[in-house]
Amino acid sequence: MILEQQLRKQLDTKDILLITHIVLGYPSFDVNREVIQQMVTNGVDCIEMQIPFSEPMADGPVILKANQDSLAAGTTVEECFVFAEEMTQRYDIPFLFMTYYNIIFAYGEEAFFKRSAKNRIKGLIIPDLPPEMAESFLEFAKTYQISPILIYTPTSTDQRMKELAGYGNGFIYCAARRGVTGKKSELGQDFDSYLARCRSATDLPLAVGFGIQNKEDIDVLKGKADMAVIGSRTITLVDTEGTEMVGSFIAGLR
């Protein structure tokens, strides 16, 4: 699909790509707007925009709080779509939606895909939707040319990884460890073995997330993965030091 082609073109000139994650509406759409501008200006290659959900089971305390605060402030799915359209028109990088299946089910599967395609969204990450239960979801993904991003974990068997790769497109999201987002991951020998298994199971690009926090982590990933995902770290940075610090942080990751 289109997303994989875009990423591979970017990989022709970079040794690793940077993906960042924001929670829409947290702490406000105005802050989201400022943060994305800082990210893109300083070299981010792809951005995950999370549509907030009340029970984000894959997310640790930082992103969980951001989801809850965004919803408490009244963020709606419609506002997320409007904001996404603004960002994809303004910046020439791939944007993804990350959310949970209840959001899509309530909106209507085809309506969600149709609106996402209109807003130039390139991929969807839905952690709580097993592909075996996603026949119509995957069909709509093909119809609207939006990549379904599947997730590997360290507990995934080799066979399961191959099965997931058959359903996915764009890239594979490799969770660096078991559990939820946020906590720093150990990228040692066990991780190298896990990533080697990921690589042997698919020809799709590999993105590593869950606990990637600094340049040292990203340097470890070079030559092993194609993309590094920075999530909780930038949200914490905005909370503690302000949006103006995001740009220098991103620039320092290269």
> Distances in Å between the alpha carbon of 191 and those of 25, 29, 114, 196, 203?
34, 36, 38, 9, 19
Question: What is the radius of gyration, based on Cα positions, of the chain?
Answer: 17
Structure tokens at 229: 């995902």
- DSSP character string of 181-198: SSSPPP-SHHHHHHHHHH
Active-site choice (4, 30, 55, 59): 59
Instruction: Please indicate whether residue 15 is annotated as part of the active site.
Output: no
Write down the catalytic residue from 4, 15, 45, 48: 48
- Of 66, 53, 61, nearest to 21 by C-alpha is 66
- To the query of whether residue 132 is one of the catalytic residues in this protein, the response is no
Q: Which residue has the tokens 């969980």?
A: 64
Active site members: 48, 59
